[in-house]
């Protein structure tokens, strides 16, 4: 198992928007090694001038785990080139087979460098928003093992952030809708995300400490999708609508 080589394979697949075979079909590697491949692939992005803007959690809701056939929470890194603003277009040609999912995003207020409890989580948060996450597995047919998807930075490809709301906005049971061309496609409660999306903060803290990743003020944390993800197509307008937090949308071109 050659970490440098495998990280190059997943990184170049993302860079060139070209699907690859699952690494696990020909390589045997553990979850821990998969995170090492992910870290090395992110180092390649840093060396091209990208910078970390935060972390994302994945498979924090049962519907997502079921959709993808996996059994555990995962985390990945978000960089500045993944950030899309409302009003930007998502250009299909830059992706392999992008999917959109509705999320809740947190803005970090204080450095998180130790495990924290759910009760403490609020103190570390500056603001909260609705978000769309764009995931784009680099693997053919969006098929992967847990180790594969971790090595591939958890399919991270894009984030569209809505308007920030105060950190004390209640978020434990909000209606969340993924709408395509103004038609709701998936509907869920934010409670589907770990029982309460705020739990993604202690979860991210635990994982970040475990893997030696800093979480700094100004970083964002995506809590994980409440619903399954949908493939997007040219010409569509995709929206996440979150009760209290408002709507955020992106045009696919
Ligand atoms: C992995 C990413 C999962 C989420 O919110 O659960 C994720 C994938 O489904 O390709 O981002
Ligand atoms: Mg997600």
Going along the chain from its start, the domains and CATH numbers come out as 3-252 (3.90.850.10)
Going by C-beta distance under 8 Å and a sequence separation of 6 or more, which residues neighbour residue 44?
Answer: 7, 8, 11
- Counting Cα atoms < 13 Å in the Cβ hemisphere of 95 gives 25
Q: Whose CA is nearest to atom 4 of ligand 1?
A: 58
pLDDT of residue 67: 86
Task: State the DSSP H helix or E strand holding residue 66, giving kind and residue range, or none if neither.
Answer: helix 62-68
pLDDT at 245 over 90: yes
Is the pLDDT confidence value at 96 over 90?
A: yes
- Report which of 111, 239, 222, 71 is spatially closest to residue 159, judged by C-alpha positions: 222
Q: How many angstroms separate the CA atoms of 21 and 39, rounded?
A: 20
- Report the nearest atom of ligand 1 relative to the CA of 61: 6
pLDDT of residue 33: 97
**Would you place residue 72 in the very low, low, confident or very high pLDDT band (cuts 50, 70, 90)?**
confident
Question: Does residue 136 line the site of ligand 1, with CB under 6 A?
Answer: no
Mean pLDDT within 235-247: 98
Ligand nearest, relative to CA of residue 144: 1
Structure tokens belonging to residue 60: 């924090």
Length of the chain: 253
Tokens found for residue 111: 């450095």
pLDDT > 90? residue 85: no
Which residue in the block uniquely carries the two structure tokens 């603001």? 127
User: 229, 232, 240: which to mutate for ligand 1, most atoms within 8 A of CB?
Assistant: 229
pLDDT recorded at residue 68: 86
Ligand 1 atom with the smallest distance to the CA of 59 is: 6
156 alpha carbon – ligand 1 mean position (Å): 8
Query: Is residue 133 lining ligand 1, measured as CB closer than 6 Å?
Result: yes
Nearest to 176 by CA among 184, 167, 164: 184
Confidence of residue 66 (pLDDT cuts 50, 70, 90): confident
Ligand showing the shortest atom-to-Cα distance for residue 75: 1
Instruction: Kindly give the number of the ligand 1 atom that is closest to the alpha carbon of 149.
Output: 1
> What is the mean pLDDT of the segment spanning 100-119?
97
pLDDT in tens, 165-220: 999 999 999 999 999 999 999 999 999 999 999 999 999 999 999 999 999 999 99
Contact (Cβ atoms closer than 8 angstroms) between residue 231 and residue 98: yes
pLDDT tens sequence across 114-168: 999 999 999 999 999 999 999 999 999 999 999 999 999 999 999 999 999 999 9
Answer yes or no: is pLDDT of 35 > 90: yes
Based on C-alpha coordinates, what's the Rg of the chain? 17
The residue whose CA has the least distance to atom 10 of ligand 1 is: 155
Q: If 0-12 CB within 10 Å is exposed, 13-18 middle and 19+ buried, where does residue 223 land?
A: buried
Please name which ligand lies nearest the alpha carbon of 58: 1
Residue to mutate (ligand 1; options 154, 176, 224, 226; most atoms within 8 A of CB)? 154
């Amino acid at each position: 198992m050659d970490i440098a080589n495998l990280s190059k394979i997943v990184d170049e697949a993302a860079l060139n928007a070209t699907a690859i075979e699952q690494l696990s079909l020909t390589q045997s590697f553990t979850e821990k090694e998969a995170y090492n491949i992910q870290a090395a692939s992110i180092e390649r992005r840093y060396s091209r001038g990208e910078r970390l803007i935060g972390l994302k959690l994945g498979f924090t809701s049962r519907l997502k785990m079921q959709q993808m056939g996996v059994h555990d929470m995962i985390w990945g890194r978000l960089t500045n080139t993944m950030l899309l603003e409302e009003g930007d277009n998502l250009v299909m040609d830059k992706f392999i087979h992008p999917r959109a999912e509705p999320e809740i995003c947190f803005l970090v207020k204080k450095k998180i460098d130790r495990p924290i409890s759910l009760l403490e989580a609020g103190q570390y948060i500056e603001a909260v928003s609705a978000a769309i996450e764009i995931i784009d597995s680099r693997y053919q047919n969006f098929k992967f093992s847990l180790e594969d998807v971790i090595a591939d930075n958890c399919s991270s490809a894009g984030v569209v952030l809505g308007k920030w709301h105060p950190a004390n906005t209640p978020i434990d049971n909000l209606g969340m809708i993924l709408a395509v061309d103004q038609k709701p496609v998936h509907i869920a409660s934010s409670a589907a995300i770990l029982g309460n999306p705020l739990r993604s903060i202690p979860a991210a803290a635990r994982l970040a400490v475990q893997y030696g990743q800093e979480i700094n003020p100004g970083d964002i944390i995506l809590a994980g999708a409440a619903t399954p993800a949908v493939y997007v197509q040219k010409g569509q307008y995709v929206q996440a609508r979150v009760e209290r937090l408002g709507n955020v949308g992106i045009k696919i071109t």
